[in-house]
Structure 1
Amino acid sequence: MDFIQINVHCDPPFRDILTAEMGYLEYDSFVETEVGFEAYISEEKFSHPALQTLFNDYRKQTRIWYELKKIPKVNWNEEWEKNYDPILVDDKIYVRATFHESKPEYPYEIVIVPKMSFGTGHHETTHQLLALQLEVDHKDKKVLDVGSGTGILAIMADKLGAKSVAATDIDEWCIENSIENFGLNDVVPTFVKKGTIHELKLNEQYDIVLANINTNVLLNEIPVYGDLLVDGGYLFLSGFYEKDMSQILDLTSNHGLKEVKHTTRKNWVGLVLQKVN
């Protein structure tokens, strides 16, 4: 499966706005550049008319220029090696690629081969959920990572002492990538399954469910997340913009989920909820 790379030139204040909007169009990986950003989407999901409509809407407010390029799967590691830097979350979580030096002085180190999967820790959504995971007890908990991408959140759960971790995603590439990353971090998942949460029909319950996806998917799947949680269990959500938070909270409250804490970072939200009786 090939991917389409969109190299976007825009004014700095619109970089985050445009990446958020492109997230709604199912672009799932972004890399900041000096002139704007690069966005990636699978060829089968790419719609040039939808992209042109989006950019035309914003051209009244800012300058936008872009170019398209097809990226074969085999080239993705090379692209990341040119652009990927390690990150540090709350001075405790060090996320690096295999080609970076280890830094054992930090309490938690996660090694990621990013490939085309979403979830390297660079994006505001993943960064916030990693930080929020530090605030919730994972020890001896059963954890499910929905839309796992690289598997980074499940890996973090394992490092925080989870009894078991499991992962799902709809993309075969993400399944392959998360399995590879689990191996790099000595994580043995209960399962890594391909399919939507509706299709998989999981019949177990979990202490913690993690879902960093996008607004439309979250609104469709939150009722299932609630069913998958034990009473008192925690739901971590991200992948949505601050303007969408009210409809997320309206839905979660209707399914017995109470907000514990939320954070915002460049208008993206990280949200923790608890299932109450």
Structure 2
Amino acid sequence: MTSWVKFTVSIPDTHQDALVAQLSTAGFGGFVQEDDYIDCYVEKKKWTSGVQTRSREVLQRFAKEYPKLELRTETTDVEDRNWNAEWERSAGIVDATKKIVIKPSWKSLRRRDKGKIVLHIDPKMSFGTGHHETTRVCLRLMEYYVRRGDHVADFGTGTGVLAIAAAKLGASRVIAVDTDSWSFENASENVLRNKAGDRITVHKGSIVALGKRPFDLVVANIDLPTITKFLGRLLTLTRKGGVLILSGLLMTDLVPVLRLINRRSIIPLLLADEGEWIGFALQRT
């Protein structure tokens, strides 16, 4: 039986999504959000000094961004549990955009969903169920810019939701990558669940797994440090005249991102936002 560590952070629900997005880069396998706290889970054998250090650094940065918040933490050991049951209790149908809904397999479609694009997504412990603003921001931008027959890359695919959306919006070929084993397995299962295996290939790996041939559209719903690190490679993977969609960014990241863009051969096409989160559609020149 697998043992887990539960790292609990006391925080109001108004700020939980922002903190979960940042803690998701620290090495946790999954999150459960309650009214006034977040439970962050990681396998005990993976509760390394590196994960602990990254968690502290995330909380320190977050405390500087929101100095009025009093963040309290607690660490406890827990035994294995039925994670699917945990997720089933918390996940429901999401109206991601006006024409895209995201539905777990244990939920039935509603009458008002008729005629919409339905993404069948069962989360394991991966990021991207449609409940988070950044997923919805990406989907709104993708509705504008994915064209029938496009070749699309999804960097940091999570549940595979954006790759599957690209295929259902008309892309003929999608390559999705993620370094996380949970995400790779979850995305692969969701691709099959959506009968999209003929158009989507999922790889476990980083950006090199996307190959060298440029794509018509590249989407990366990650975070500012990762975008800063890989922006040059993401642009190389975007064909000239193609579109790069970036999200996982807070409103406070706007100025740093604009500085990055100004140094490159990029035309800003569209900025989308929801709550305190933003996403960009950029054209490579």
1:19: how far off?
3.4
Query: Residue 147 of structure 1 contacts residue 168 of structure 1 at CA under 8 Å; is this kept in 2?
Result: yes
> Residue 247 of structure 2 aligns with which residue?
238
Residues 133 and 41 from structure 1, CA distance in 2 versus in 1: closer, same or farther, beyond 3 angstroms? farther
Deviation at 1:156, TM superposition (A): 0.5
Structure 1: runs of 5+ lacking an equivalent: none
Give the AA of the match of 1:149. G
8 Å Cα contact 1:23-1:214 kept in structure 2: no
Q: Is the Cα contact below 8 Å between 1:16 and 1:266 reproduced in 2?
A: no
3-state SS, counterpart of residue 240 of structure 1: strand
SS class of match (1:191): strand
Cα distance in 2, alignment partners of residues 135 and 42 from structure 1 = 39
Equivalent-residue separation in structure 2 for 1:161 and 1:254 (angstroms)? 32
The aligned length equals: 275
State the 1:240 CA deviation. Answer: 1.8
Matches within 5 A, 1:55-66: 58=63, 61-66=68-73
Is 1:90 the counterpart of 2:91? The answer is no
Q: Measure the CA separation in 2 of the matches of 1:72 and 1:180.
A: 25
Q: Within 5 Å, which residues of 2 pair with 1:1-277?
A: 4-23=5-24, 25=26, 27=28, 29-41=30-42, 44=46, 47-48=51-52, 51=55, 58=63, 61-69=68-76, 75-103=82-110, 104-188=113-197, 189-197=199-207, 199-200=208-209, 202-276=211-285
Tell me if structure 2 keeps the 8 A contact 1:235–1:273: yes
For the Cα contact (< 8 Å) 1:155–1:185, is it kept in 2? yes
Give structure 2 stretches of 5+ with no counterpart: none
Q: Whole-Å Cα distance in 2 between the matches of residues 190 and 84 of structure 1?
A: 24
- Stretch of structure 1 that moved more, 92-101 or 3-12: 3-12
1:66 Cα deviation after fit: 3.8
- Residue pair 2:247, 2:278 contacting (<8 A) in 1 also: yes
Whether the aligned pair in 1 keeps the contact of 2:241 and 2:284 (CA below 8 Å) is yes
- Compute the displacement of 1:68 (Å): 3.4
Q: Deviations over 1:111-134 (max 9, x none)?
A: 111001111111111111112211
* Compared CA separation, residues 190 and 9, structure 1 to 2 (3 A): closer
Distance 1:194 1:141 in 2: 22
TM norm structure 2? 0.84
**Deviation of residue 136 (structure 1)?**
1.6
Render the CA deviation track for 1:154-207: whole Å, top value 9, x for unaligned. Answer: 10011111111111111122111111000011112453222211x437121100
